[in-house]
């Protein structure tokens, strides 16, 4: 059997390619930009990558064309598939039909933290010798690969609410039929897909409707948008993630032993389960950890073992990843690209570095950021930084509130990477901490910063 994947270098579609290859299926794929790290990961697995979407790149013997959600009508390969009546599937549908149809699926969903939480969960199951399969939208450092197929009945998936394909506008996650579901949070995002937060709530409601009665839904106790979803109906068991020291009868909670979240105790229904002392920081990661421990416990892993596993957990690439040091200045990379994620990331970082100066650089790259939807809240989310640099290209036809801009004498709004490099060069001093936040490559700015500072 041979499949050809359109949009193969996307994180999810690249994961599909890896799973298919591990299943013994012949795989090829094409993309507009064949680039690392996914291209490297795929080539190492012997998967043929082709630049561009010329229909002749689809092999004649292809049994199924798997269409990525970045593909749209007008794409030459898409038109060829439709005109010639080729067999095609979306990535999530192919995954559901060929990989996870007979698995116990553990899904991590939410606006923020699903990659990290899914990686934690997969590692806990691995630590317990359950050898889970997984498909994660990043590269978990404990595994060094974004997807794998095993004989285990357990499969961990990062459950994305983004739409499935041009021909299937449901969220990806409705294809996965999880038995264990984590919902970390719910905020407005993906402005190119959803008109408002209510539309996203509807998709999460559809997701909850397919969790079986003996399944488990794990969610934070005080998250209003998620509570709105729960109020529409919940037919499964539930366990709550609570604030520090406030565990309910069904709740998980924590007690911080270090302000930055690097050391904490874990409780279930008020009873201490274990201690986590790890390299990660931030309350958001403490909450991610509780959700992962709870999900693994549903699959049979005692919470104590979950805590032990997380002390050996290595974070996902691009999640507070240390990129290097030059001139006594440290540079970090983080995937945060929403005001809430930016604020929680900075909060944990501030607790970690104490009084050191933080230069925060934010790339307005996501569709939601580019649209200006978060212009009222973004600057306030950066208040813990000593200097704020916003990458805002000239073609963006909106402005931040003037009163907010006027109140910040440490704000720099710049249109290109070269201007940012010049600004950092003028601002940075020995012992400063530079935190770059973007969900894209950002013009290789991390390497350029280190070269310039050196």
Per-residue confidence (pLDDT) for residue 85, from 0 to 100: 96
Same domain for 236 and 136: yes
Per-residue confidence (pLDDT) for residue 341, from 0 to 100: 83
275, 310, 345 - which closes a domain? 310
Per-residue confidence (pLDDT) for residue 353, from 0 to 100: 86
Same domain for 77 and 167: no
pLDDT: which is higher, 80 or 340: 80
Whether 132 maps to a domain, the answer reads yes
Q: What is the DSSP letter of 295?
A: H
What SS3 state is found at 273?
strand
Nearest-5° angle of CA 382, CA 351, CA 364? 25
Contact 154, 130 (CB under 8 A): yes
Residue 247 pLDDT greater than 60, yes or no: no
Q: Closest Cα partner for 319 from 220, 431, 241, 435?
A: 435
Per-residue pLDDT of 138-162, as tens digits, reads 888 899 888 999 999 999 999 999 9
CATH value at residue 53: 3.40.50.720
pLDDT: which is higher, 226 or 37: 226
For residue 168, say if its preceding peptide bond is cis, omega within 30 degrees of 0. Answer: no
Q: How does 336-374 read in b/e, with b if 16+ C-beta sit within 10 Å?
A: bbbbbbbbbbbbbbbbbbeeebbbbbbbbbbebbbebbb
Lowest average pLDDT, out of 76-80, 137-141, 252-256, 310-314, goes to 137-141
Look over the chain and give the mean of its residue pLDDT values, rounded to a whole number. Answer: 91
**Helix, strand, coil share of the chain (percent; to 5):** 35, 25, 40
Per-residue pLDDT of 367-403, as tens digits, reads 778 888 888 889 989 999 999 999 998 888 889 989 9
Per-residue confidence (pLDDT) for residue 88, from 0 to 100: 98
Whether 398 maps to a domain, the answer reads yes
Per-residue confidence (pLDDT) for residue 127, from 0 to 100: 97
Same domain for 179 and 272: yes
Per-residue confidence (pLDDT) for residue 365, from 0 to 100: 84
Same domain for 111 and 37: no
Confidence of residue 248 (pLDDT cuts 50, 70, 90): low
Per-residue confidence (pLDDT) for residue 167, from 0 to 100: 96
Per-residue pLDDT of 422-449, as tens digits, reads 888 888 899 999 999 887 778 888 889 8
Same domain for 69 and 9: yes
Region 108-135 average pLDDT: 96
Same domain for 228 and 156: yes
Lowest average pLDDT, out of 36-40, 78-82, 247-251, 450-454, goes to 247-251
Whether 274 maps to a domain, the answer reads yes
Whether 316 maps to a domain, the answer reads no
CATH value at residue 116: 3.40.1190.10
Lowest average pLDDT, out of 8-12, 196-200, 440-444, goes to 440-444
- Rounded CA-CA distance 102/217 in Å is 20
Per-residue confidence (pLDDT) for residue 444, from 0 to 100: 85
Residues 6+ apart with CB under 8 A from 197: 186, 187, 188, 225
Same domain for 119 and 58: no
43, 68, 94 - which closes a domain? 94
Nearest-5° angle of CA 115, CA 147, CA 369? 35
Confidence of residue 358 (pLDDT cuts 50, 70, 90): very high
Whether 287 maps to a domain, the answer reads yes
Structure tokens at 409: 């004498």
Query: What does residue 126 show for φ and ψ, rounded to 5 degrees?
Result: -65, -45
Give the rounded percent of residues in the chain with a pLDDT score beyond 70.
Answer: 98
Same domain for 358 and 435: yes
Structural domain count of the chain:
3
Whether 315 maps to a domain, the answer reads no
Same domain for 135 and 256: yes
Same domain for 249 and 143: yes
Rg (CA), the chain: 22
Whether 301 maps to a domain, the answer reads yes
Residue 244 pLDDT greater than 90, yes or no: no
Per-residue confidence (pLDDT) for residue 246, from 0 to 100: 62
The residue whose two tokens read 């279930």 is 268
288, 310, 332 - which closes a domain? 310
- Rounded CA-CA distance 450/447 in Å is 5
What SS3 state is found at 229?
helix
Same domain for 240 and 184: yes
Phi-psi region of 170 (alpha: psi -120 to 50; beta: other; left: phi over 0): beta
Whether 403 maps to a domain, the answer reads yes
Residue 86 pLDDT greater than 90, yes or no: yes
Contact 378, 362 (CB under 8 A): yes
Region 309-326 average pLDDT: 85
CATH value at residue 326: 3.90.190.20
Same domain for 356 and 297: no
Query: Would you mind telling me the total number of residues written for the chain in this entry?
Result: 454
pLDDT: which is higher, 338 or 214: 214
Per-residue confidence (pLDDT) for residue 375, from 0 to 100: 85
Range(s) of the domain holding residue 56? 2-94
């Amino acid at each position: 059997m041979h499949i050809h994947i359109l949009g193969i270098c996307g994180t999810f579609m690249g994961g599909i390619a890896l799973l298919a290859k591990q299943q013994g299926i012949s795989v090829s794929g094409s993309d507009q930009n064949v680039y690392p790290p996914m291209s490297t990961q795929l080539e190492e697995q012997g998967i043929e990558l082709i630049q561009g979407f010329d229909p002749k790149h689809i092999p004649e013997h292809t049994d199924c064309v798997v269409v990525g959600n970045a593909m749209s009508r007008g794409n030459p390969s898409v038109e060829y598939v439709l005109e010639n009546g080729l067999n095609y599937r979306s990535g999530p549908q192919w995954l559901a039909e060929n990989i996870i149809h007979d698995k116990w699926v553990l899904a991590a969903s939410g606006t923020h933290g699903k990659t990290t939480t899914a990686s934690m969960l997969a590692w806990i199951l691995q630590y317990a010798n359950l050898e889970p399969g997984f498909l994660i939208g990043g590269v978990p450092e404990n595994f060094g690969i974004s997807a794998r197929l095993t004989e285990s009945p357990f499969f961990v998936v990062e459950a994305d609410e983004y739409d499935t394909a041009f021909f299937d506008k449901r969220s990806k996650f409705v294809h996965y039929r999880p038995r264990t579901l984590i919902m970390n949070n719910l905020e407005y995002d993906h402005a190119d897909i959803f008109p408002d937060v209510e539309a996203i709530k509807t998709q999460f409601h559809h997701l909850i409707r397919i969790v079986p009665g003996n399944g488990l839904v794990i969610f934070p106790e005080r998250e209003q948008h998620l509570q709105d979803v729960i109020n529409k109906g919940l037919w499964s068991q539930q366990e709550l993630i609570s604030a520090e020291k406030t565990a309910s009868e069904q709740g998980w909670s924590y007690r911080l032993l270090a302000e930055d979240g690097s050391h904490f105790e874990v409780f279930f229904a008020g009873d201490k389960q274990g201690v986590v002392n790890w390299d990660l920081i931030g309350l958001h990661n403490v909450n991610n950890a509780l959700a992962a421990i709870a999900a693994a416990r549903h699959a049979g892993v005692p919470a104590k073992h979950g805590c032990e596993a997380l002390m050996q957990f290595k974070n996902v690439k691009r999640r507070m990843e240390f990129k290097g040091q030059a001139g006594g200045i440290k540079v970090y990379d983080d995937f945060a690209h929403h005001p809430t994620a930016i604020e929680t990331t900075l909060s944990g970082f501030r607790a970690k570095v104490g009084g050191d100066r933080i230069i925060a650089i934010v790339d307005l790259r996501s569709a939601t950021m580019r649209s200006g939807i978060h212009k009222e809240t973004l600057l306030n989310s950066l208040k813990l930084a000593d200097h704020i640099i916003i990458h805002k290209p000239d073609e963006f036809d909106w402005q931040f509130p003037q009163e907010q801009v006027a109140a910040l004498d440490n704000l720099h709004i710049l249109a290109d990477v070269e201007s940012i490099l010049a600004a950092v060069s003028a601002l940075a001093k020995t012992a400063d901490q530079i935190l770059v936040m973007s969900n894209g490559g950002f013009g290789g700015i991390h390497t350029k910063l280190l070269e310039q500072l050196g």
